[in-house]
């Protein structure tokens, strides 16, 4: 197993863990009032989106672009 496969596995597992934890934290804080809590909710939502992007990149769904012709 080469280093690229190990990195891909770590990205997939890490993306799953971070996405689950941030989704649970966002669900638990959803009804809290206050401006600082609103900022915290935005940060949790961005963390969730970033984790999903890392998960998709690790699964080769994102970031696989064909090489240009003639290269």
pTM: 0.79
- Tokens, residue 55: 């998960």
The pLDDT of residue 71 is 55
Distance CA 22, CA 46 (A): 9
Residue 1 has pLDDT above 80, yes or no: no
Number of domains in the chain: 1
Span 34-46, average pLDDT:
92
The pLDDT of residue 47 is 94
Terminal alpha carbon distance of the chain: 28
Residue 26 lies in a domain: yes
Distance CA 31, CA 23 (A): 14
Domain of 10, in residue numbers: 3-58
Residue 25 lies in a domain: yes
Residue 8 lies in a domain: yes
- Tokens, residue 64: 């696989």
The pLDDT of residue 2 is 87
Alpha-carbon dihedral angle through residues 23, 24, 26, 31, given to the nearest 10 degrees: 140
Residue 30 lies in a domain: yes
Span 17-35, average pLDDT:
92
Residue 64 lies in a domain: no
């Amino acid at each position: 197993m080469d280093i690229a496969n190990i990195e891909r596995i770590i990205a997939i597992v890490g993306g799953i863990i971070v996405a689950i934890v941030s989704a649970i934290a966002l669900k638990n804080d959803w009804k809290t009032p206050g401006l600082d809590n609103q900022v915290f909710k935005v940060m949790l939502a961005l963390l969730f989106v970033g984790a999903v992007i890392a998960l998709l990149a690790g699964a080769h769904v994102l970031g696989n672009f064909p090489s240009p012709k003639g290269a």
